[in-house]
Structure 1
Amino acid sequence: MSTLTRDTWVLIADSEKALFIRNETDAENPNFVVVREEEQDNPKDVAQSANKPGRMQDSGVQQMSAVEDTDWHELAKERFADDLAGILFKQAEKHKFERIVLCAAPQVLGALRDKLHKEVSWRVVAEVDKNLTNHPLDQIEANLRRELESV
């Protein structure tokens, strides 16, 4: 059975943007339609940090060491995978899709895979570790068709 059958969903994601796409036709000539877009407002860490890094007393006399501050930018990226997993679970519960292909940057794909509910994970028919979020739909179609043919 071909992977990109009619009504198969495709999630295209990186750590800050996601497209939920449905294939309207078949694998030989896919026609993707965007069902939903998600984008995370995630400014650089410097813009999100309220304070300068903390300091703590060292073992020496009047010596202080810096304490590493939380990287809010990275933390937000990790939370985005949680958000995407939640959206997919809600859509699966509503029977919006029966099959889905996950296409994401490798780090995001790994984080997402760990967060997926079993109601979603059994519907995953393929995974592609590529970042295609900034490509137009026709290039996403061509790239995915090529990637999935080689599997």
Structure 2
Amino acid sequence: MTETPNLKIPHGGYVVVGDGRRALVLRNEGHALHLALRVQHVFEAPPNPPTREQGTDRPPRVRQGEHRSAIEQTDWHTIAEERFADEVAAALDRIADAIPALIVVAPPRTLASLRQALSERLKRVVIAEIDKDLTKLSIEEIGRRLTDG
């Protein structure tokens, strides 16, 4: 699913707004025409130093016949973001029975990680996936952005 202008978030519907380092789990305690988003949980990823500080100094080399080539260095940030998405999805799965509808809002790479991490029963209640980074906005502004298109 993609962005839906004038999105209707039903009463009790959940919105996950994340960016790979931070995620807000919001619940609509109002109704579809008058949102009242309330924070249910905030996830913060632990500090993640630059990749150059996490791996070896130089990537290892592989010999193939007469040719030598470097192996691509592991992207520790991508791995950390995927683990973070798994953590958020696992927490949502623990309350999946209480989620009648789910909207997932995140930048494209994080959205893909969350999509992959969601359980099948959560995937069935996803009514919209929006590829935007709204994590730094106020709860009221997030609500406006979602419902005003």
Length, aligned pairs only: 142
2:61 corresponds to which of 46, 55, 61: 55
Q: Which ranges of structure 2 fall in alignment gaps of 5 or more residues? A: 1-6
Deviations 1:37-78 (A, max 9, x none): 111122221232244322344655xx8543322111121112
**Residue 83 (structure 1) aligns with:** 87
1:128-143 aligned within 5 A:
128-143=130-145
* Distance of aligned partners of 1:106 and 1:68 in 2 relative to their CA distance in 1, 3 Å threshold: closer
2:71 corresponds to which of 57, 64, 67: 67
- Distance between the aligned counterparts of 2:41 and 2:92, measured in 1? 11
Could you tell me the TM-score, scaled by structure 2's length? 0.83
Could you tell me the TM-score, scaled by structure 1's length? 0.82
Please state whether the residue corresponding to 1:141 is helix, strand or coil.
helix
RMSD: 2.0
Taking CA–CA contacts closer than 8 Å with sequence separation of 6 or more, which of the two structures ends up with the larger relative contact order?
Answer: 2
Identity fraction in percent: 32
Q: Which ranges of structure 1 fall in alignment gaps of 5 or more residues? A: none
Mapped contact 2:8–2:33 kept (Cα < 8 A): no
Please state whether the residue corresponding to 1:89 is helix, strand or coil.
helix
Question: Which structure would you say has the larger Rg?
Answer: 1
- Distance between the aligned counterparts of 2:130 and 2:72, measured in 1? 35
Mapped contact 1:100–1:126 kept (Cα < 8 A): yes
* Distance of aligned partners of 1:99 and 1:68 in 2 relative to their CA distance in 1, 3 Å threshold: same
1:112 corresponds to which of 87, 94, 114: 114
Q: Point out 4+ residue stretches in structure 1 off by more than 6 angstroms.
A: none
